[in-house]
Structure 1
Amino acid sequence: MFAFARTRTRPDAVRPVWAAVSVLLEYPTAELVSSVDVIESLVPDNAHLAPLFAHLRRTELRALQQDYVATFDHTRKCALYLTYFAYGDTRRRGMALVQFKETYRAAGVEWDDATGELPDHLCAVLQFGATVDAEAAWQLLTDHRAAVEMLRLALTGWRNDDGTTGSPWAAALLALCDTMPDLKGDEADAVRRLVEEGPPAEEVGLEGYGAPLISPATIPVGAPR
Protein backbone atom coordinates (compact mmCIF):
# COMPACT_ATOMS: atom_id res chain seq x y z
CA MET A 1 0.00 0.00 0.00
CA PHE A 2 1.40 3.39 -0.99
CA ALA A 3 1.07 6.41 1.27
CA PHE A 4 2.43 9.43 -0.59
CA ALA A 5 0.73 11.98 1.66
CA ARG A 6 2.24 10.51 4.80
CA THR A 7 5.71 9.42 3.66
CA ARG A 8 6.38 11.93 0.88
CA THR A 9 7.29 9.11 -1.50
CA ARG A 10 8.21 10.47 -4.91
CA PRO A 11 5.41 10.29 -7.47
CA ASP A 12 7.35 7.87 -9.68
CA ALA A 13 7.14 5.31 -6.85
CA VAL A 14 3.40 4.98 -7.45
CA ARG A 15 3.73 4.31 -11.18
CA PRO A 16 2.83 0.59 -10.87
CA VAL A 17 -0.49 1.49 -9.19
CA TRP A 18 -1.27 4.14 -11.77
CA ALA A 19 -0.43 1.74 -14.61
CA ALA A 20 -2.70 -0.96 -13.18
CA VAL A 21 -5.60 1.41 -12.47
CA SER A 22 -5.34 2.97 -15.93
CA VAL A 23 -6.08 -0.44 -17.46
CA LEU A 24 -8.62 -1.62 -14.88
CA LEU A 25 -10.84 1.42 -15.48
CA GLU A 26 -10.96 0.72 -19.20
CA TYR A 27 -13.97 -0.90 -20.90
CA PRO A 28 -13.62 -4.65 -20.24
CA THR A 29 -12.47 -6.66 -23.23
CA ALA A 30 -11.37 -10.24 -23.66
CA GLU A 31 -7.79 -8.95 -23.90
CA LEU A 32 -8.08 -7.10 -20.59
CA VAL A 33 -9.56 -10.10 -18.79
CA SER A 34 -6.86 -12.39 -20.17
CA SER A 35 -4.24 -9.93 -18.90
CA VAL A 36 -5.42 -9.87 -15.28
CA ASP A 37 -2.47 -11.96 -14.07
CA VAL A 38 -0.02 -9.62 -15.79
CA ILE A 39 -1.72 -6.52 -14.36
CA GLU A 40 -1.80 -8.02 -10.87
CA SER A 41 1.92 -8.76 -11.10
CA LEU A 42 2.51 -4.99 -11.18
CA VAL A 43 0.83 -4.58 -7.77
CA PRO A 44 0.90 -8.04 -6.14
CA ASP A 45 0.41 -6.77 -2.60
CA ASN A 46 -2.23 -4.10 -3.20
CA ALA A 47 -5.13 -5.01 -0.90
CA HIS A 48 -7.47 -2.46 -2.52
CA LEU A 49 -7.20 -4.00 -5.98
CA ALA A 50 -7.43 -7.68 -4.98
CA PRO A 51 -11.28 -7.75 -4.99
CA LEU A 52 -11.39 -6.22 -8.48
CA PHE A 53 -8.96 -8.77 -9.85
CA ALA A 54 -11.13 -11.53 -8.37
CA HIS A 55 -14.26 -9.97 -9.85
CA LEU A 56 -12.71 -9.80 -13.32
CA ARG A 57 -11.66 -13.44 -13.11
CA ARG A 58 -15.02 -14.83 -12.03
CA THR A 59 -17.48 -12.67 -13.99
CA GLU A 60 -18.59 -13.43 -17.53
CA LEU A 61 -17.31 -10.87 -20.03
CA ARG A 62 -20.71 -9.75 -21.28
CA ALA A 63 -21.86 -9.07 -17.71
CA LEU A 64 -18.68 -7.06 -17.06
CA GLN A 65 -19.31 -4.98 -20.14
CA GLN A 66 -22.95 -4.34 -19.29
CA ASP A 67 -22.08 -3.30 -15.74
CA TYR A 68 -19.30 -1.03 -16.97
CA VAL A 69 -21.58 0.77 -19.43
CA ALA A 70 -24.31 1.17 -16.81
CA THR A 71 -21.78 2.60 -14.37
CA PHE A 72 -19.57 4.88 -16.42
CA ASP A 73 -21.47 5.63 -19.62
CA HIS A 74 -25.01 6.07 -18.31
CA THR A 75 -24.30 7.79 -15.00
CA ARG A 76 -22.95 11.34 -14.91
CA LYS A 77 -21.83 11.05 -11.29
CA CYS A 78 -19.37 8.33 -12.35
CA ALA A 79 -17.78 10.31 -15.18
CA LEU A 80 -14.14 9.41 -15.81
CA TYR A 81 -13.35 12.93 -17.03
CA LEU A 82 -11.55 15.00 -14.41
CA THR A 83 -12.70 18.45 -15.53
CA TYR A 84 -16.35 17.47 -15.77
CA PHE A 85 -16.98 17.65 -12.02
CA ALA A 86 -15.72 21.22 -11.70
CA TYR A 87 -16.95 22.66 -15.01
CA GLY A 88 -19.68 20.40 -16.41
CA ASP A 89 -20.11 20.98 -20.14
CA THR A 90 -19.35 24.70 -20.01
CA ARG A 91 -16.99 26.98 -21.88
CA ARG A 92 -14.65 27.08 -18.89
CA ARG A 93 -14.13 23.36 -19.27
CA GLY A 94 -12.74 23.93 -22.75
CA MET A 95 -9.88 25.98 -21.37
CA ALA A 96 -9.19 23.34 -18.74
CA LEU A 97 -8.92 20.70 -21.46
CA VAL A 98 -6.38 22.83 -23.30
CA GLN A 99 -4.27 22.86 -20.14
CA PHE A 100 -4.18 19.05 -20.16
CA LYS A 101 -2.91 19.08 -23.74
CA GLU A 102 -0.28 21.66 -22.88
CA THR A 103 0.92 19.54 -19.96
CA TYR A 104 1.33 16.53 -22.24
CA ARG A 105 3.17 18.62 -24.83
CA ALA A 106 5.55 20.04 -22.22
CA ALA A 107 6.49 16.45 -21.34
CA GLY A 108 7.33 15.69 -24.98
CA VAL A 109 4.15 13.95 -26.18
CA GLU A 110 1.06 15.12 -28.02
CA TRP A 111 -2.54 14.26 -27.35
CA ASP A 112 -4.04 12.39 -30.31
CA ASP A 113 -7.53 13.74 -31.00
CA ALA A 114 -8.06 10.92 -33.49
CA THR A 115 -8.75 8.63 -30.52
CA GLY A 116 -12.08 10.41 -30.04
CA GLU A 117 -11.36 10.85 -26.33
CA LEU A 118 -10.85 14.00 -24.28
CA PRO A 119 -7.44 14.61 -22.71
CA ASP A 120 -8.77 14.72 -19.15
CA HIS A 121 -9.87 11.07 -19.20
CA LEU A 122 -8.60 9.57 -15.94
CA CYS A 123 -7.13 6.51 -17.66
CA ALA A 124 -5.10 8.73 -19.98
CA VAL A 125 -3.76 10.87 -17.14
CA LEU A 126 -2.73 7.76 -15.21
CA GLN A 127 -1.05 6.20 -18.22
CA PHE A 128 0.77 9.47 -18.84
CA GLY A 129 2.03 9.38 -15.25
CA ALA A 130 2.98 5.72 -15.41
CA THR A 131 4.87 5.87 -18.69
CA VAL A 132 5.89 9.49 -19.41
CA ASP A 133 6.03 12.04 -16.59
CA ALA A 134 4.96 11.11 -13.06
CA GLU A 135 5.50 14.61 -11.69
CA ALA A 136 3.30 16.28 -14.30
CA ALA A 137 0.56 13.68 -13.89
CA TRP A 138 0.77 14.12 -10.13
CA GLN A 139 0.09 17.84 -10.60
CA LEU A 140 -2.94 17.18 -12.83
CA LEU A 141 -4.35 14.70 -10.32
CA THR A 142 -3.84 16.97 -7.34
CA ASP A 143 -5.27 19.95 -9.24
CA HIS A 144 -8.41 17.85 -9.70
CA ARG A 145 -8.29 16.06 -6.36
CA ALA A 146 -11.94 16.90 -5.66
CA ALA A 147 -12.99 15.20 -8.91
CA VAL A 148 -11.10 12.03 -7.98
CA GLU A 149 -12.78 12.05 -4.58
CA MET A 150 -16.22 12.55 -6.13
CA LEU A 151 -15.69 9.54 -8.36
CA ARG A 152 -14.53 7.48 -5.37
CA LEU A 153 -17.65 8.45 -3.41
CA ALA A 154 -19.93 7.63 -6.33
CA LEU A 155 -18.40 4.19 -6.85
CA THR A 156 -18.20 3.21 -3.18
CA GLY A 157 -21.82 4.27 -2.72
CA TRP A 158 -23.05 2.55 -5.90
CA ARG A 159 -26.23 0.55 -5.39
CA ASN A 160 -26.11 -2.86 -7.06
CA ASP A 161 -29.14 -4.72 -8.40
CA ASP A 162 -28.87 -7.28 -5.60
CA GLY A 163 -29.18 -4.56 -2.96
CA THR A 164 -25.51 -4.48 -2.01
CA THR A 165 -23.49 -1.28 -2.00
CA GLY A 166 -20.23 -0.60 -3.81
CA SER A 167 -19.19 -0.95 -7.44
CA PRO A 168 -16.44 -3.47 -8.18
CA TRP A 169 -14.56 -0.58 -9.81
CA ALA A 170 -14.52 1.31 -6.51
CA ALA A 171 -11.42 -0.76 -5.75
CA ALA A 172 -9.51 1.09 -8.46
CA LEU A 173 -10.40 4.49 -6.98
CA LEU A 174 -9.46 3.35 -3.48
CA ALA A 175 -6.06 2.28 -4.79
CA LEU A 176 -5.61 5.57 -6.63
CA CYS A 177 -6.66 7.73 -3.67
CA ASP A 178 -4.20 5.86 -1.48
CA THR A 179 -1.40 7.32 -3.63
CA MET A 180 -2.67 10.89 -3.22
CA PRO A 181 -2.76 13.45 -0.39
CA ASP A 182 -5.78 13.54 1.89
CA LEU A 183 -8.43 16.15 1.13
CA LYS A 184 -7.98 19.42 2.96
CA GLY A 185 -9.34 22.95 3.09
CA ASP A 186 -10.66 24.17 -0.23
CA GLU A 187 -10.59 20.66 -1.71
CA ALA A 188 -12.90 19.31 0.98
CA ASP A 189 -15.17 22.32 0.50
CA ALA A 190 -15.25 21.67 -3.26
CA VAL A 191 -16.33 18.07 -2.68
CA ARG A 192 -19.12 19.15 -0.33
CA ARG A 193 -20.30 21.71 -2.87
CA LEU A 194 -20.28 19.18 -5.70
CA VAL A 195 -22.25 16.70 -3.60
CA GLU A 196 -24.87 19.36 -2.89
CA GLU A 197 -25.03 21.11 -6.26
CA GLY A 198 -23.45 18.89 -8.90
CA PRO A 199 -21.38 20.15 -11.85
CA PRO A 200 -22.36 23.40 -13.65
CA ALA A 201 -25.24 22.79 -16.03
CA GLU A 202 -24.59 25.21 -18.90
CA GLU A 203 -24.75 22.95 -21.95
CA VAL A 204 -22.39 23.87 -24.79
CA GLY A 205 -20.44 21.92 -27.33
CA LEU A 206 -16.79 21.24 -26.68
CA GLU A 207 -15.84 21.69 -30.34
CA GLY A 208 -12.93 24.01 -30.83
CA TYR A 209 -11.43 23.66 -27.36
CA GLY A 210 -8.11 23.02 -29.06
CA ALA A 211 -6.77 22.29 -32.50
CA PRO A 212 -6.09 18.63 -33.29
CA LEU A 213 -2.60 17.63 -32.21
CA ILE A 214 -1.18 14.80 -34.25
CA SER A 215 2.30 13.48 -33.59
CA PRO A 216 4.18 10.20 -33.80
CA ALA A 217 4.35 10.39 -30.00
CA THR A 218 0.79 10.21 -28.75
CA ILE A 219 -1.02 9.17 -25.58
CA PRO A 220 -3.81 6.66 -26.25
CA VAL A 221 -6.27 5.94 -23.49
CA GLY A 222 -5.21 2.88 -21.52
CA ALA A 223 -1.81 1.58 -20.56
CA PRO A 224 0.27 -0.41 -23.05
CA ARG A 225 -0.65 -4.07 -23.27
Structure 2
Amino acid sequence: MDSYEPEKNGSQQDLPPPPTVVPPDVVPLQAEPEPVKKKPLRVPIARRGLASKGQKIPLLTNHFKVNVTNVDGYFFHYSVALSYEDGRPVDGKGVGRKVIDRVQETYDSELDGKHFAYDGEKSLFTIGSLPRNKLEFTVVLEDISSNRNNGNASPDGHGSPNESDRKRMRRPYQSKTFKVEISFAAKIPMQAIANALGDRSRRTLKKP
Protein backbone atom coordinates (compact mmCIF):
# COMPACT_ATOMS: atom_id res chain seq x y z
CA MET A 1 0.00 0.00 0.00
CA ASP A 2 1.18 3.40 -0.78
CA SER A 3 1.86 5.61 2.22
CA TYR A 4 0.39 9.19 2.31
CA GLU A 5 2.40 12.11 3.63
CA PRO A 6 0.96 15.65 3.76
CA GLU A 7 2.84 18.25 1.86
CA LYS A 8 4.32 20.39 4.56
CA ASN A 9 5.51 23.03 2.16
CA GLY A 10 2.06 23.37 0.63
CA SER A 11 0.30 23.79 3.98
CA GLN A 12 2.71 26.53 5.03
CA GLN A 13 2.13 28.45 1.80
CA ASP A 14 -1.63 28.57 2.49
CA LEU A 15 -1.16 30.43 5.80
CA PRO A 16 -1.48 34.29 5.85
CA PRO A 17 1.66 36.35 6.39
CA PRO A 18 2.50 37.36 9.96
CA PRO A 19 1.26 40.79 11.12
CA THR A 20 3.52 43.80 10.79
CA VAL A 21 5.32 44.76 13.95
CA VAL A 22 4.17 48.24 15.12
CA PRO A 23 7.07 50.45 16.21
CA PRO A 24 6.91 51.49 19.89
CA ASP A 25 6.77 55.23 19.05
CA VAL A 26 3.66 54.88 16.83
CA VAL A 27 0.22 55.24 18.42
CA PRO A 28 -2.41 53.31 16.46
CA LEU A 29 -5.62 55.10 15.54
CA GLN A 30 -8.96 53.51 16.10
CA ALA A 31 -11.44 53.86 13.28
CA GLU A 32 -14.66 55.50 14.46
CA PRO A 33 -18.01 54.57 12.94
CA GLU A 34 -19.73 57.16 10.79
CA PRO A 35 -22.27 59.13 12.85
CA VAL A 36 -25.86 58.28 12.18
CA LYS A 37 -27.81 61.21 10.76
CA LYS A 38 -30.89 61.97 12.78
CA LYS A 39 -34.09 62.84 11.04
CA PRO A 40 -35.30 66.40 11.72
CA LEU A 41 -38.03 66.56 14.30
CA ARG A 42 -39.72 69.47 12.54
CA VAL A 43 -40.29 69.67 8.84
CA PRO A 44 -40.93 73.14 7.35
CA ILE A 45 -44.19 73.53 5.52
CA ALA A 46 -43.69 73.77 1.79
CA ARG A 47 -45.03 76.98 0.27
CA ARG A 48 -47.23 76.65 -2.74
CA GLY A 49 -46.04 79.92 -4.15
CA LEU A 50 -46.27 83.68 -3.77
CA ALA A 51 -49.55 85.51 -3.76
CA SER A 52 -50.83 86.45 -7.17
CA LYS A 53 -54.23 88.00 -6.45
CA GLY A 54 -54.92 91.69 -6.12
CA GLN A 55 -53.20 94.74 -7.56
CA LYS A 56 -49.42 94.97 -7.39
CA ILE A 57 -47.99 98.24 -6.07
CA PRO A 58 -44.41 99.43 -5.45
CA LEU A 59 -43.67 99.63 -1.73
CA LEU A 60 -40.71 101.13 0.13
CA THR A 61 -40.39 100.42 3.85
CA ASN A 62 -38.41 102.61 6.23
CA HIS A 63 -37.17 104.63 3.30
CA PHE A 64 -37.48 108.26 2.30
CA LYS A 65 -36.41 109.77 -0.98
CA VAL A 66 -33.71 112.38 -0.42
CA ASN A 67 -32.13 114.77 -2.89
CA VAL A 68 -28.90 116.56 -1.99
CA THR A 69 -28.28 119.72 -3.98
CA ASN A 70 -25.53 121.39 -1.90
CA VAL A 71 -22.77 118.84 -1.34
CA ASP A 72 -20.29 121.37 0.07
CA GLY A 73 -21.88 121.64 3.50
CA TYR A 74 -22.00 119.42 6.57
CA PHE A 75 -24.65 118.14 8.89
CA PHE A 76 -23.91 117.39 12.52
CA HIS A 77 -24.90 114.45 14.68
CA TYR A 78 -25.52 115.05 18.38
CA SER A 79 -26.18 112.64 21.24
CA VAL A 80 -29.18 113.46 23.44
CA ALA A 81 -29.55 112.50 27.12
CA LEU A 82 -32.86 113.23 28.85
CA SER A 83 -33.42 112.93 32.59
CA TYR A 84 -35.91 114.00 35.20
CA GLU A 85 -35.12 116.55 37.88
CA ASP A 86 -34.01 113.79 40.28
CA GLY A 87 -31.59 112.33 37.70
CA ARG A 88 -33.71 109.38 36.54
CA PRO A 89 -33.46 108.76 32.77
CA VAL A 90 -36.49 109.52 30.65
CA ASP A 91 -38.08 106.61 28.80
CA GLY A 92 -40.58 106.94 25.98
CA LYS A 93 -40.37 108.45 22.53
CA GLY A 94 -43.45 110.62 22.96
CA VAL A 95 -42.02 112.40 26.00
CA GLY A 96 -38.64 112.88 24.32
CA ARG A 97 -40.13 114.63 21.32
CA LYS A 98 -42.16 116.95 23.53
CA VAL A 99 -39.09 117.81 25.58
CA ILE A 100 -36.95 118.58 22.53
CA ASP A 101 -39.75 120.67 21.01
CA ARG A 102 -39.91 122.68 24.22
CA VAL A 103 -36.11 123.12 24.17
CA GLN A 104 -36.31 124.49 20.65
CA GLU A 105 -39.14 126.86 21.58
CA THR A 106 -37.58 128.10 24.83
CA TYR A 107 -33.92 128.36 23.81
CA ASP A 108 -34.23 129.34 20.17
CA SER A 109 -31.77 132.23 20.49
CA GLU A 110 -29.20 130.11 22.37
CA LEU A 111 -29.43 127.54 19.56
CA ASP A 112 -28.91 130.18 16.84
CA GLY A 113 -32.33 129.33 15.45
CA LYS A 114 -31.22 125.87 14.33
CA HIS A 115 -33.86 123.34 13.30
CA PHE A 116 -33.58 119.79 14.62
CA ALA A 117 -34.15 116.36 13.14
CA TYR A 118 -34.73 114.19 16.22
CA ASP A 119 -35.36 110.43 16.27
CA GLY A 120 -37.20 110.53 19.60
CA GLU A 121 -34.46 108.73 21.52
CA LYS A 122 -30.73 109.57 21.56
CA SER A 123 -29.87 111.06 18.14
CA LEU A 124 -30.33 114.61 16.92
CA PHE A 125 -29.17 116.12 13.62
CA THR A 126 -28.72 119.70 12.45
CA ILE A 127 -27.55 121.44 9.29
CA GLY A 128 -24.52 123.33 10.53
CA SER A 129 -23.14 123.11 14.04
CA LEU A 130 -24.71 124.27 17.28
CA PRO A 131 -22.95 127.08 19.20
CA ARG A 132 -21.09 124.64 21.49
CA ASN A 133 -20.15 120.97 21.47
CA LYS A 134 -22.03 120.37 24.73
CA LEU A 135 -25.24 122.13 25.75
CA GLU A 136 -27.40 121.68 28.84
CA PHE A 137 -30.99 122.91 29.21
CA THR A 138 -33.82 122.68 31.72
CA VAL A 139 -37.43 122.71 30.54
CA VAL A 140 -40.81 122.28 32.20
CA LEU A 141 -43.73 120.38 30.68
CA GLU A 142 -47.31 120.46 31.92
CA ASP A 143 -48.65 116.93 32.43
CA ILE A 144 -52.18 117.37 31.09
CA SER A 145 -54.23 114.22 30.62
CA SER A 146 -55.66 113.77 27.15
CA ASN A 147 -59.44 113.92 26.87
CA ARG A 148 -60.68 110.92 24.91
CA ASN A 149 -64.22 112.30 24.62
CA ASN A 150 -64.16 115.52 22.62
CA GLY A 151 -65.52 118.45 24.60
CA ASN A 152 -65.83 116.36 27.77
CA ALA A 153 -69.02 114.99 26.33
CA SER A 154 -70.49 111.66 27.33
CA PRO A 155 -70.38 108.77 24.84
CA ASP A 156 -74.14 109.04 24.27
CA GLY A 157 -73.59 112.39 22.57
CA HIS A 158 -75.84 114.51 24.84
CA GLY A 159 -72.97 116.79 25.87
CA SER A 160 -72.99 116.15 29.61
CA PRO A 161 -69.72 114.80 31.07
CA ASN A 162 -69.76 111.34 32.56
CA GLU A 163 -68.20 110.35 35.90
CA SER A 164 -64.79 109.59 34.39
CA ASP A 165 -64.69 112.97 32.65
CA ARG A 166 -65.63 114.79 35.86
CA LYS A 167 -62.73 113.10 37.67
CA ARG A 168 -60.32 114.24 34.99
CA MET A 169 -61.70 117.78 35.15
CA ARG A 170 -61.14 117.90 38.92
CA ARG A 171 -57.57 116.58 38.59
CA PRO A 172 -55.05 119.43 39.10
CA TYR A 173 -52.52 120.14 36.41
CA GLN A 174 -49.04 118.85 37.17
CA SER A 175 -45.74 119.98 35.74
CA LYS A 176 -42.50 118.04 35.34
CA THR A 177 -38.98 119.36 35.02
CA PHE A 178 -36.60 117.77 32.54
CA LYS A 179 -32.87 118.14 32.06
CA VAL A 180 -31.53 117.93 28.52
CA GLU A 181 -27.91 117.33 27.55
CA ILE A 182 -26.91 117.63 23.88
CA SER A 183 -23.36 116.51 23.03
CA PHE A 184 -21.50 116.58 19.72
CA ALA A 185 -21.06 113.11 18.18
CA ALA A 186 -19.98 113.42 14.53
CA LYS A 187 -19.52 115.79 11.61
CA ILE A 188 -20.77 114.26 8.36
CA PRO A 189 -20.14 115.81 4.93
CA MET A 190 -23.06 116.19 2.57
CA GLN A 191 -20.90 114.62 -0.12
CA ALA A 192 -21.02 111.33 1.81
CA ILE A 193 -24.81 111.36 1.57
CA ALA A 194 -24.65 112.17 -2.11
CA ASN A 195 -22.21 109.31 -2.63
CA ALA A 196 -24.48 106.90 -0.79
CA LEU A 197 -27.48 108.01 -2.82
CA GLY A 198 -25.43 107.64 -5.99
CA ASP A 199 -24.32 104.14 -4.94
CA ARG A 200 -20.71 105.27 -4.72
CA SER A 201 -18.15 104.58 -2.02
CA ARG A 202 -18.73 106.38 1.26
CA ARG A 203 -16.20 108.69 2.84
CA THR A 204 -14.94 108.19 6.34
CA LEU A 205 -16.97 110.12 8.92
CA LYS A 206 -15.08 112.68 10.95
CA LYS A 207 -15.11 111.87 14.66
CA PRO A 208 -14.37 114.42 17.42
Instruction: Give the TM interval when normalised to the shorter protein.
Output: under 0.3
Work out which structure has the larger RCO, using CA pairs closer than 8 Å and 6 or more positions apart in sequence. Answer: 1
Greater share of helix: 1
Q: What TM-score do the two structures reach when normalised by structure 1?
A: 0.20
